Structure 1
């Protein structure tokens, strides 16, 4: 199992998955470029390309001699996994996308534009906290939102701006992924309170033959943290079903 976190996070966001998944699988947790323990490997001035970030994961698998894997992503990590599947389609046995971002809606485009406009004026954490409240508005999901913000503090302003600069690349990638299905079976796990992204995922699954959607009750955007037992159980059941 290869776990891919979202923007501003690190492999810490998977701590509620490890115990259950390690019963059945070998587990690889990656820190994306500029995040967590990968942060020290890149200069503060180095700019990123989105495909390069996806290839970092592929190269890590190559280094560890992992030919194929089941991929699990959360939030923006889901887009990274789709990019991995595009660049190296033979590597995915299955794909599980939690709190998936599949399209930039008008609201998201406005938020990104505002962030680009204000990022040189306002402290980046003001923008990130605003983003966290928009993505995770419910009081019931305060713990997930606080972790989201805590990890963003560790990310730092320079890394935040690098990822913000890639928004146009990410938007173009999503347009392609809407049309082109993944090479492996896909399970979308979405919280019932993920108001921003659940409707778009529901529409997409109706158009894709090898994708299915399961909605997790009493959960927001970061459904792997809000309802970890349900997230883990449904993910493992999905993999067992397709593996025969």
Structure 2
């Protein structure tokens, strides 16, 4: 099972928020969020397989290549163990793909989704990067590849903190594990196309940096096609907007979650009242 950490409020009715990091990161990338979120919500942090403190757990469990569904089921397994029936999910970068996959596999367990630096579609530059990565992954040291990708995605000086955070976390990922994760790029295009065509109608807030040049245009398009989807652009921020502008990210995300929790509670009360009235 994945390594995880929880922060629980005394209020047993408090909603759960599950944070999902991206490839090469770990739950530590949420260090600028925890303090604010635990004031309002129960919080669950997970380290994905091969990352953070989960890097040895899954390796012992199985020794073969895996797919996005395998990684998604890892998260659901933690929810089951903790008996979390429903939660709000917050992801960054590739973590948004896993959250979207959770909404496919167990939609009734997803109250809402907050997608930071969401990957909705691969543009030409991203596809070229993936192709080059697959061509050279066995001859070029994997950290060179990761550092190069990080620089392409987060090129500006003010992205340096985010870039270094992810590169330093990626150094903790074994090369064999990196290869397994990189193989997932073969699944990306068909999976993202499917996600684009299917609207879950689950309330979704996209929080994107205005300088997220590779992924922001696709999000601007998708919100015109999907219901219950909203986009908020954070200024002076790149792909990893929760690190570039944590105050803005936290305020916008918490406001959205509070609104969604309130709406869902009122809906539940109305349904309960309607059921009682019918009886």
CA distance in 2, matches of 1:115, 1:40: 25
| 1:119 counterpart = 2:137 | yes
Deviations 1:105-136, CA, capped at 9 Å, x for gaps: 22211111100100111101111111000110
Indicate if the aligned counterparts of 1:50 and 1:170 stay in contact, CA closer than 8 A: no
Q: Which residue of 1 aligns with 2:6?
A: none
1:11 and 2:27 equivalent?
yes
CA distance, structure 2, for counterparts of residue 43 and residue 78 of structure 1: 23
TM-score (norm 1): 0.97
TM-score, normalisation: structure 2: 0.85
How far apart, CA to CA, are the structure 1 residues paired with 2:191 and 2:108?
19
Q: Secondary structure at the match of 2:56?
A: helix
Structure 1 Cα separation of the partners of residues 195 and 137 of structure 2: 28
The CA distance in 2 between the partners of 1:157 and 1:54, in whole Å, is 22
Where does residue 54 of structure 2 map in the other structure?
Answer: 38
Deviations 1:155-189 (A, max 9, x none): 12111110111112222211111011234200000
**Superposed, which structure 2 residues align to 1:1-244 within 5 Å?**
1-43=17-59, 45-244=63-262
The structure 1 segments of at least 4 consecutive aligned residues displaced by more than 2 Å after TM superposition are 42-46
Alignment coverage as a number of residue pairs = 244
Please state whether the residue corresponding to 2:224 is helix, strand or coil.
Answer: helix
CA RMSD, 1 decimal: 1.1
- Per the TM alignment, residue 42 of structure 1 is displaced from its structure 2 partner at its CA by 2.4
Which of the pair has the greater relative contact order for Cα pairs under 8 Å at 6+ separation? 1
1: CA distance, partners of 2:201 / 2:67: 23
Which structure's CA Rg is the greater one?
2
Residues in 1 aligned to 2:199 and 2:41: alpha-carbon distance in whole angstroms = 26
Contact 2:201 2:226 in 1 (8 A): no
Q: Which stretch shifts more, 168-177 or 202-211?
A: 168-177
